[in-house]
């Protein structure tokens, strides 16, 4: 059934090509964009259902046997990530209809959007280190152009920083891949895992390589102390793009970290995973403290992306089945809640004309519905019951208590409180307080735009509640996926067949 593994890559590819063929026909592009978004999401769900039913799926591209050819693999973790990419793709594709201006549409916004999605799902599905590099580049090149598209001064300056840092990280990634190949003679992830676990590679050397990958992926994921490019660039493009970047791009970095630190580099867990945990704590704290100081909504939320990455890394550092379950549940939760907040802030900008908390106010009185749409994901992000974030954080905290890592648990709880504080700040400033300078009236949303903007946000806000009240299926799925991550032999067998 290799077609299911292929579709999440092929569907965005075809959507990008078809939108490019209709370069001058804006209406057709918009329609194809939505159809492609739906098809991608459905394809991703199909893959998840297949992996849930039949276990890990693998296909050898071009029928070249592993480890010589390129392998596409989907375990549950990959499949869940692909589904999240599909959800984000669909949501942003619809939201873009109401928020992206005609000039950007005329210069290839939709082809780029779907190329980005192709790169993301390729990165989630590949089973080969060099191929992962290639998918990273596909994704990055599309994201570079999306960030600069429009050409405002801020965008160009933000893009310059983003491009520079990412190219540096790519060069480091490529270097690490080269050395990895010279040490092990293979780049197939399953084969790498097999070689390193069977002791064919000196464990000290493997740890050095692990650190190189940690830095390369850490830059992309926005870890402490490598995150400074993120709040300097993420707020500059239109909000639909910011939401997509915050939902997917840093998460691809985290995905790569989880993949290599559960499958390949598990030879010296005491050292590597303790280090991961220290970085996790620092990432959380610096991210949330940076957020407290901000008054611009998009910059504030950008800093929160960083602190949330810390939670994901904490689970990886704890490295138990419960902790990895927490990582997966948290990943699903944070992608939904974070993007919902960005998209709501875009609507706030549309209605009240600003992203600046000092100039906003009084929205609760006139737009109670919008206020509710902000309120739900904000509380979810802070981790209050009964929203999705509560279960995610509870799982991580329980995992921390079980392994007696009290320090990181304490840090994560303090950071939660601070997150709640900065969500309250947005609430109080933008929605609750009186509006400074009452002269201009709020802009009402017009009807077709209304659906395109509010629809996606309502879906995401509803999901934070649904995943909170009915968390059990997601936690079951996460537990199953975590069990697969902790037992690499299943993965290796799916790719290589029976070895040793």
Partner 1 sequence: MDSVVLRTATRYLLPLLLLFSVFALLRGHNEPGGGFVGGLVAATAFALYAVGYGVAAARQLLQTSPRRLIGIGLLVAASSGLIGMAWGDPFLTARWDTREIPVVGKLGTPLLFDIGVYLVVIGVALTIIFALIEAEEEA
Partner 2 sequence: MEVILAIVIGALYAAGLYMMMRRSFVKLVIGLSLLGYASSLLIFTVNGVTRGQPPLVQEGMTQPVEPFADPLPQALILTAIVIGFGVQAFALVLFKRTYQSANTDDLDGIKSTEESGKVRSPEMT
What residues line the site for partner 2 (CB under 8 A)?
A: 99, 101-102, 130, 133-134, 137, 140-141, 144-145, 148, 150-161, 163-164, 167-168, 170-172, 174-175, 177-179, 181-182, 231-233, 235-239, 293-296, 298-299, 346, 349-350, 354-356
Query: At its nearest, how many Å lie between partner 2 and the CB of residue 316?
Result: 26
Nearer to partner 1, 6 or 451 (CB): 6
- Picked from partner 1, partner 2, none, the partner binding residue 160 (CB below 5 to 8 A depending on kind) is partner 2
- Picked from partner 1, partner 2, none, the partner binding residue 23 (CB below 5 to 8 A depending on kind) is partner 1
Backbone angles phi, psi at 443, to 5 degrees: -80, 125
Nearer to partner 1, 10 or 50 (CB): 10
**Please, which residues have CB within 8 angstroms of residue 409's CB and are 6 or more apart in sequence?**
397, 400, 401
- Picked from partner 1, partner 2, none, the partner binding residue 314 (CB below 5 to 8 A depending on kind) is none
Dist CA 28 CA 189 (whole Å): 41
Q: What count of Cα atoms within 13 Å lies in the side-chain half-sphere of residue 148?
A: 12
Query: At its nearest, how many Å lie between partner 1 and the CB of residue 16?
Result: 8
Query: At its nearest, how many Å lie between partner 2 and the CB of residue 82?
Result: 23
User: Running DSSP on this structure, what letter comes out for residue 126?
Assistant: B
Is residue 48 within 8 Å of residue 79, measured between CB atoms? yes
Query: At its nearest, how many Å lie between partner 2 and the CB of residue 404?
Result: 40
Nearer to partner 2, 209 or 258 (CB): 209
Nearer to partner 1, 58 or 300 (CB): 58
Is residue 81 within 8 Å of residue 124, measured between CB atoms? yes
Binding site for partner 1 (CB under 8 A): 2-3, 6, 10, 13-14, 17-18, 20-21, 23, 59-63
Nearer to partner 1, 14 or 459 (CB): 14
| Nearest of 266, 253, 262 to residue 309 by alpha carbon | 253
Is residue 295 within 8 Å of residue 345, measured between CB atoms? no
Query: At its nearest, how many Å lie between partner 1 and the CB of residue 17?
Result: 5
Query: At its nearest, how many Å lie between partner 1 and the CB of residue 377?
Result: 37
Nearer to partner 2, 101 or 476 (CB): 101
Is residue 386 within 8 Å of residue 469, measured between CB atoms? yes
Q: What count of Cα atoms within 13 Å lies in the side-chain half-sphere of residue 97?
A: 26
Q: How many residues are present in the chain?
A: 500
Is residue 320 within 8 Å of residue 248, measured between CB atoms? no
Nearer to partner 2, 235 or 333 (CB): 235
Is residue 240 within 8 Å of residue 346, measured between CB atoms? yes
Backbone angles phi, psi at 404, to 5 degrees: 60, 35
Query: At its nearest, how many Å lie between partner 2 and the CB of residue 399?
Result: 35
């Amino acid at each position: 059934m290799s077609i299911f593994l292929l579709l999440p890559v092929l569907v965005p590819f075809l959507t990008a090509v078809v939108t490019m063929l209709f370069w001058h026909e804006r209406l057709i592009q918009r329609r194809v964009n939505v159809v492609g978004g739906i098809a991608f999401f459905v394809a991703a769900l199909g893959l998840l259902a297949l992996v849930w039913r039949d276990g890990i799926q693998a296909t050898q591209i071009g029928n070249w046997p592993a480890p010589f050819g390129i392998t596409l693999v989907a375990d549950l973790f990959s499949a869940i990530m692909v589904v999240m990419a599909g959800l984000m793709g669909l949501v942003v594709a619809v939201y873009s209809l109401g928020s992206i201006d005609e000039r950007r549409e005329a210069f290839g916004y939709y082809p780029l959007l779907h190329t980005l999605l192709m790169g993301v799902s390729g990165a989630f599905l590949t089973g080969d280190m060099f191929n992962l590099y290639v998918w990273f580049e596909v994704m990055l090149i599309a994201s570079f152009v999306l960030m600069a598209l429009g050409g405002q001064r801020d965008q160009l300056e933000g893009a310059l920083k983003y491009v520079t840092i990412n190219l540096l990280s790519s060069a480091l990634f490529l270097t690490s891949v080269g050395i990895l190949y010279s040490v092990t003679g293979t780049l197939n992830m399953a084969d790498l895992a097999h070689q390193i676990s069977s002791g064919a590679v000196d464990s000290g050397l493997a740890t050095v390589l692990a650190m190189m990958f940690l830095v390369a992926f850490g830059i992309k994921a926005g870890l402490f102390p490598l995150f400074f490019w993120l709040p300097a660039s993420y707020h500059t493009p239109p909000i639909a793009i910011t939401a997509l970047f915050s939902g997917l791009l840093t998460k691809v970095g985290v995905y790569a970290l989880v993949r290599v630190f559960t499958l390949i580099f598990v030879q010296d867990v005491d050292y590597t995973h303790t280090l991961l945990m220290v970085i996790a704590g620092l990432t959380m704290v610096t991210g949330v403290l940076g957020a407290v100081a901000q008054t611009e909504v998009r910059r504030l939320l950008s800093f929160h992306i960083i602190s949330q990455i810390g939670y994901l890394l904490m689970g990886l550092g704890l490295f138990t089945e419960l902790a990895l379950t927490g990582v997966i549940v948290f990943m699903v939760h944070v992608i939904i809640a974070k993007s919902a907040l960005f998209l709501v802030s875009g609507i706030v900008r549309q209605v009240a004309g600003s992203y600046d908390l000092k100039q906003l106010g009084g929205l609760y009185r006139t737009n109670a519905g919008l206020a509710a749409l902000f309120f739900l994901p904000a509380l979810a992000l802070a981790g209050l019951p009964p929203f999705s974030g509560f279960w995610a954080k509870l799982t991580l905290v329980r995992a921390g208590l079980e392994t007696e890592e009290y320090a990181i648990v304490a840090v994560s709880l303090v950071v939660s409180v601070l997150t709640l504080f900065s969500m309250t700040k947005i609430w109080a400033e933008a929605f609750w307080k009186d509006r400074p300078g009452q002269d201009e009236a709020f802009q009402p949303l017009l009807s077709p735009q209304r659906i395109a903007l509010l629809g996606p946000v309502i879906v995401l806000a509803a999901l934070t509640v649904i995943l909170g009240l009915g968390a059990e299926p997601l936690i079951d799925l996460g537990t199953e996926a975590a069990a697969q991550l902790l037992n690499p032999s299943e993965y290796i067998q799916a790719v290589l067949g029976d070895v040793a």
